Amino acid sequence: MRMTATSDAATQAIELLTALVRVDSINPMGRPRSARYPVERKAIEVIEDWLTPYRHRLTLERQSCSPEHENLVIRLAGLSDRPVGLFEAHLDTVPADDWAERALCPVLDGEDLVGRGACDDKGSVVAMVLALTRLVETDTVPPRPIVLVCAGDEEYAQTGIKHFRTALREEIGYGIFGEPTRLHPVVQHKGTIRWDLTVHGASAHTSRPELGFNAVLGMVQVIAALGRYQEKLQREWRNPYMTGPLVTVTMIHGGRTRNATPDECTIAIDFRVLPDMNPDSEKNALIDYLSEVTDLRITHGANQLMTPPLNTNPASPFCERVLAACRQVAGDGIELRGAPYGTDAAWVSDLCPAVVLGPGDIASAHAVDERISIREVVDAAKIYQRIMLDLHTL
């Protein structure tokens, strides 16, 4: 039986995605790992093998980001050497401890492929690779060079995109970052900053607590003040695409023994800011607020993490044309959106206009029985290909 062009694309998508899900590229997320090769190596080898018939037109480069992480950078020359079109999706996945026995055994369930990483983010990787290979198969030269980064370590410290940026040789014209957005272009997302805050007290025997100062009780005041601060920020800052700023206490520790007032209490803060806000200056403003509304002795740790927000102008010609490409393939229901989570896009969005756009539903990412619709992967490949060919005048 002769297959149609569509089913041919679906067959290719299933084949490459199955091969990628089957290999372990689980990010240790800071935990110890016994393997002596980078987390992404096996997935990179799968893509390198897949690209063997296309090597005459593509340049492949493994980029070592750290002893643990690696990128694969694939380049396709264009008609001109204008600023490149950047496509990026990540090869690492979150762990699958709660369904380990089947997470790396991909299966088809109707039109969905199920397995760890199918949706986040190997479906996007597959769609980008297939968009590129389709250009080679049809002898099409895009108007500008295309750089596809299959990145490492998105899920933990983003060393992949940060290293790519440091090693960057080309000027970037635009960036498309594949993450599960159901094919809606995400133009803005929040930024995040995390650090530890400690209230200092003084220990005393619990029979004479008035001789010390209970740091846990001091922390109760701080947590209440953080709640009021979040309300204030939510009144002052709004964004049509997403909920307001969020200050969340995620961990708490205080006290040393059961019979002394605690001399220290520490919390971990996760602070999510809107696209117009700067994470570092918002941290400083929060610190100032606490020193105004309490007279506690408080110290603040260094940033455990800072990821910038994404703040692309939705009215820009870039966004209009990306949206048009999505609608041509996936219908008029596609709209520009925002997201409450962070992505690698934020790390280059000061260099070029960038959107997050890919197949799959974020609700399935990081979940048990993670899945992706193969039809959406095929549609994403068509959208990426249109963008590769159409966005030449930006």
Binding site for Zn ion (CB under 5 A): 120-121, 179
CB 196 within 8 A of CB 276: no
Closer to Zn ion at the Cβ: 47 or 197?
47
> Any idea how long the chain is?
394
Nearest CB to Zn ion, comparing residues 242 and 339: 339
Across 241-335, the runs of DSSP E, i.e. the strands, are 246-254, 264-273, 297-300, 305-307, 310-311
Question: Do residues 175 and 151 make contact, with C-beta atoms less than 8 angstroms apart?
Answer: no
Give me the least distance between CB of 370 and Zn ion, in Å please: 11
Q: What type of residue sits at position 248?
A: T
- Left if phi > 0, otherwise alpha if psi is -120 to 50, otherwise beta: which for 314? alpha
Nearer to Zn ion, 120 or 282 (CB): 120
Find out whether 338 and 160 touch, Cβ atoms under 8 Å.
Answer: no
Shortest Å, Cβ 358 to Zn ion: 9
* Contacting residues for 211 by C-beta, under 8 A, at least 6 apart: 202, 204, 205
Q: In the bound complex, what is the minimum distance in angstroms from residue 305's beta carbon to Zn ion?
A: 16
| 199 close to 219: Cβ distance less than 8 angstroms | yes
CB of 152 or CB of 254, closer to Zn ion: 152
Residue 351: which of 183, 192, 162 has the closest Cα? 162
Q: What's the rounded Cα separation, in Å, for the pair 57 and 139?
A: 9
We find the least distance from the C-beta atom of residue 183 to Zn ion, in angstroms, to be: 15
Closest to Zn ion by CB, 121 or 263? 121
* Residue 122: CB minimum distance to Zn ion, A: 10
Q: Which residues pair with 299 in a beta bridge?
A: 198
Query: Considering the complex, what minimum distance in angstroms separates the CB of residue 246 from Zn ion?
Result: 20
**Closer Cβ to Zn ion, 133 or 181, answer by number:** 181
CB of 298 closer than 8 Å to CB of 291:
yes
Q: Which of residues 106 and 254 has its CB atom nearest to Zn ion in the complex?
A: 106
Between 145 and 360, CB nearer to Zn ion: 360
Dihedral angle sign, alpha carbons of residues 271, 275, 277, 280: positive
Distance CA 366, CA 370 (A): 7
45: left (phi over 0), alpha (psi -120 to 50) or beta: alpha
Q: Residue 119 CB, nearest distance to Zn ion (Å)?
A: 8
Pairing of strands 172-177, 354-356: parallel
Least distance CB 38 / Zn ion (angstroms): 18
Give min distance, CB of 123 to Zn ion, in A: 10
Q: Could you tell me where the beta strands, DSSP code E, fall in 53-98?
A: 58-64, 70-76, 84-90
Q: What is the DSSP letter of 184?
A: P
Task: Indicate the residue among 135 and 151 with the shorter CB distance to Zn ion.
Answer: 151
